[in-house]
Structures are given as structure tokens and as C-alpha cells.
Amino acid sequence: MEPIMLYDTTLRDGTQGENISFSAEEKIKIAQRLDDLGIHYIEGGWPGSNPRDMHFFDLARQIEFKTARLTAFGATHRPGIDPAEDENLKALIDSGASSVTIFGKSWDLHVEQVMHINLETNLSMIYETIAYLKTYHREVIYDAEHFFDGYKENSEYAIKTLMAALKGGADMIVLCDTNGGSLPLEVESMVREVRKIFSEKYASITKEMSLKLGIHAHNDCGLAVANSLSAVNAGVVMVQGTINGYGERCGNTDLTSIIPIICLKMNFPCISKKNLKKLKKISRFVSETANMIPLNTRPFVGKSAFAHKGGIHVSAIMKTPRTYEHMAPELVGNERRVLVSDLSGKSNVEFKAKELGVELGFNGFDSRRIVNEIKNLEQQGYQFDVADGSFKILIEKFTEQFKPLFELESFRVTIEKDKDLPCSAHATIKISVGDQKEITAAEGHGPVSALDNALRKALNKFFPDLDSMRLVDFKVRVIDGREGTAARVRVFIESRDHDHIWSTIGVSEDIIEASWQALADSFQYKLSKER
């Protein structure tokens, strides 16, 4: 079975996604993570299109990649210009990348109505560009843009564009579903037809020039992963995609899904099992670098990918995990999670308590009684399936195991608004830690920010390791809006340090009170974890 080559275009095609941008330095960090994961090709960008991508390739010269080939991306030479005079091609060569990806048009619609050139000129441009780059001893990957749409409307011409690339010396020809409108059965059928045409009609040519095919799919119909898998099933040996599926419009093939499917479900040689366990971490790293909130429901690597809520499900997985899991989460660096809510049974509570290291049964609070208490609290607006930190503190309180590392004596928050200036917030807080009391004050960009800063400032005197903790998400939800501004609100806070992420919750008619509950739980959880 021929190995499947992985081609990552997060740093180029991924950045065409809405609200996604990386600096050259950030791209270097991502590239190093991709190399460590075992990706075979990393597309660094289009050096002829902007200074940032050229700067990236300058920085990349100083780095020795272990497994990946750094690839520069560009287009065929412009009409009427010799390849040697084309500035974009010069930039590709000057980038120093050992591999170059060139895209050209396979759809006659684009050639005649967008580029306004004749079909033969387009074929010459494809051939001449690749042949020119091969004189510089570069590996050349040809992306046949809009191939599937072009093949549907004019299959003969679409095949001619591939032949031009092959005759020019292309080492790999990638069939692109650029508009993302093809279906899996169409993709598989067309890939098989292309292979058959070249093996029969152009047999003499393909004996001299090896035809290796790849797939580049977009997700406009939600089928990028399915189309890529169909192409693999039909014989392609390269899959292009991005981490987390980032990309233009609806995105690209999501490598965090395609990699485990190829490795674990289809059993193709791809990346090692050791590297497969790094998948969740790199997914998180790229989303944080892109400043995008991670998608909890993302297959394989999402926070909810192996989360169980229903009591019957939890009871089953405690006995045999594969009853409700298609694979072991540890294989991709993820973990099994059990959620606790008003739908929970005692199995959920027992599993969760064991996971969090809390013993049940103290003070008469067994799992059944805790379930009843949780259901009552959820009636009031609490939601513990998204707040592990608060849940741990809750069951410790129920079982009289909670030992607070600080206690609130009082706080005061004031908001000041001058006519021509934005609001400013000030918080004063008094806490006790053991027999000692501390009073301090701080400013913030809002009341919760000021309260957070004041609490952190007060606690730093006793717990200097709080520097590693930061809040990464803050959400407020109105539980029932019929009471207007007097409605109960739910505040959800997500915090993290170097190694962990945890969530806490607060509920009250007063948004500051609810925020304090969630904030205090977050700091209590962090401090107890450290100790």
C-alpha cells in the first residue's frame, strides 16, 4: 500500500479564511509544529504576492526541518511574458524552497472568459512554467485549479492541461475542487477516469513520466473531507488541507480529521502513531495563534469529540468504552469527558468525581443525592456540563472536603463616566487567607476586569505562582429574559495556565455577583490544583 503524503496549506490557503492572519514569525512557529507532527509538505505562502511571505522564507532558511519539505506557491507565468522574465517565478526561485507548487487553469471557462486568452496559450503557459522551474532543480507540484468543474464541462481540454504539466516535468499533479461543489461519487469516478485515460491512451508517455495524483478540496458543500477520502480510495497519493479546516469561504479539507481517518480507519501509511497523539495540541496551537475560538464539536480533536452526557451512555462506557466511542481518544491526544447535568445519572457523577479526584460518600452525600442537588441547581440556571472547575468545588462542598485557600470579606466596584471619556472601573477587595487579611484596589477596562485585577493583586502576596493563569473566555447569558434587566444571568469563565484549561460558572440576578462566583471558583480551582 503506497504511503499517503500530507500537504499542509494552513500558512497560505488557511490565511484566506475570514479573520485569519499570521505574522511571518507566527508562521515559522506553526511550520515547526507541523514538521514535528510529521507533515510531508508545508506550503509557506506566495512569495511573489507580498513581503510578509518573502520574509517568512527568509526566516525559514535558518531552520532545519526534520521531515517536511518547505514549499513556495505561485501561478503560471503571465501571458506574453517569458518565464525567465516573470517576477513571480523569480520570487519562487529566490525563496530557496526546495519544492514549488504552481497552479494553472483546467477549466476552459476561466481561460477564455477570465484570463481572455486562447486554450492553446494556456497549455503553453503550464508547460513552459514547469519546464523552466525544473531547470532550477526544484520539485514541482502542479495544482490543476477547478479541475473537476472543468472536467465536467470539457473533459478533453481538462486532460490536456494535465498532460501539459506532465510533459513539463511536474512531479505531482493535484486535482482541485476549487469551488467545493463536487460530490464524493463524482470525485472518485473522475479520479479513476483520469488514471485510466493516462494508463491506456497515454501509456507510452506515462511510462517515461510517472503520473502521481493528489487532491485539494474545498468545503463549500461540507464534503471536503469526504471528497478527499474518495480521491484516496481512487488512488491519489497526496492530500492537501489545513489544520482545523481553515480557509477561504467555508474552508479546506480539515487535516485534523483526514489524518486519523487515513491512518486509523483506512490503514494507509501516513504519520506515526506517536505523532498522531500530537494532533489535538497542534489543533489548539493553530487556533490560538489565529485568535480563533476552538470548535468544541470538531471531530477527533474537539473538546466535545469524546464527551458523554446521557446517563445510559456513561454507564456503558464505564464498562466498555467502545459501546459509545468509535475509537480511543488517546490515539489523537484527546481524552474522554463525562458531562454532568440534569440529564445525568449517578454513573456520570461517579465517573466525574473519580476523574477530578474527589471521593464520594462523605457526610451522607453519595452519587444519587448529588445528582438530585445538581438537578435542582440546573433549574436555577447552573450548567455544570460546561464548568468542570465549579463542579469539582461543588461536590467538595457537598462532601465537606472543600478547603478554601482564600475567603471573601467584601468587595466594592465603582464605575465612573465623564462626559467625553469612556467608562473607567475601580474595584476594592478585602480577602482573608488563613489568619491574615489583605485589602487592595485595582482598575480595569470594566467592572469584572477591575475585580479580577484586584483579586489577583491581593492573592499575589500569598500565591506568587498566579502569573501563569489567565482568563481566555468570558460569556454572559440571560437565563430568562421575561424579567428584563432583573433577569437571572449565567456567567461562564474559561481560564488556562501552561498545561490546563478549566471552566467555572456563576448565576445571579446581579451580573457582578454571578461574575464573582465564576471568578472566585476559577482562582480556587487553580490554587487547589497547584497544591
Predicted pLDDT at 54: 94
pLDDT class of 52 with cuts at 50, 70, 90: very high
Predicted pLDDT at 252: 98
Residue 110: which of 142, 87, 84, 79 has the closest Cα?
79
Model confidence pLDDT, tens digit, residues 132-148: 999 999 999 999 999 99
Model confidence pLDDT, tens digit, residues 394-411: 888 888 888 899 999 999
Written as nine digits, the cell of 357 is 479526584
Predicted pLDDT at 229: 98
Say if residues 298 and 283 touch (Cβ distance below 8 Å).
yes
Distances (CA, A) of 82 to 78, 79, 351: 8, 8, 68
Model confidence pLDDT, tens digit, residues 77-123: 999 999 999 999 999 999 999 999 999 999 999 999 999 999 999 99
Model pTM? 0.76
pLDDT class of 131 with cuts at 50, 70, 90: very high
Say if residues 57 and 95 touch (Cβ distance below 8 Å).
yes
Read off φ and ψ for residue 195, nearest 5 degrees. -65, -40
Say if residues 454 and 427 touch (Cβ distance below 8 Å).
yes
For residue 453, pLDDT beyond 60: yes
Predicted pLDDT at 500: 80
Written as nine digits, the cell of 235 is 488512488
For 484-504, give one letter per residue: b (16+ CB within 10 A) or e.
eeeebbbbbbbbbbeeeebbb
- Rounded to whole angstroms, the Cα distance separating 453 from 447 reads 10
Predicted pLDDT at 343: 56
Let me know if 53 is exposed, middle or buried by CB neighbors in 10 A (0-12, 13-18, 19+).
buried
Q: Looking at residues 228-247, what average pLDDT do you find?
A: 98
112-126, 264-278, 484-498: segment of lowest average pLDDT: 484-498
Q: Looking at residues 307-329, what average pLDDT do you find?
A: 87
For residue 531, pLDDT beyond 60: yes
113-122, 148-157, 361-370, 450-459: segment of lowest average pLDDT: 361-370
pLDDT class of 385 with cuts at 50, 70, 90: confident
For residue 357, pLDDT beyond 70: yes
- Rounded to whole angstroms, the Cα distance separating 34 from 484 reads 49
pLDDT class of 483 with cuts at 50, 70, 90: low
pLDDT class of 49 with cuts at 50, 70, 90: confident
Model confidence pLDDT, tens digit, residues 288-302: 889 888 898 999 999
DSSP 445: S
Predicted pLDDT at 365: 64
Answer with the residue of higher pLDDT: 392 or 222.
222
The mean pLDDT value of the chain amounts to: 90
Dihedral-angle region of residue 251 (phi above 0 means left; psi in -120 to 50 means alpha; beta otherwise):
left
List the domains of the chain with CATH numbers.
5-289 (3.20.20.70), 307-398 (no CATH), 407-530 (3.30.160.270)
Distances (CA, A) of 199 to 143, 235, 428: 20, 13, 78
Answer with the residue of higher pLDDT: 526 or 205.
526
Written as nine digits, the cell of 29 is 512557529
Let me know if 162 is exposed, middle or buried by CB neighbors in 10 A (0-12, 13-18, 19+).
buried
- Residue 9 in 3-state DSSP? coil
The percent of residues above 90 in pLDDT, for the chain, comes to 66
97-101, 197-201, 445-449: segment of lowest average pLDDT: 197-201
- Rounded to whole angstroms, the Cα distance separating 181 from 95 reads 34
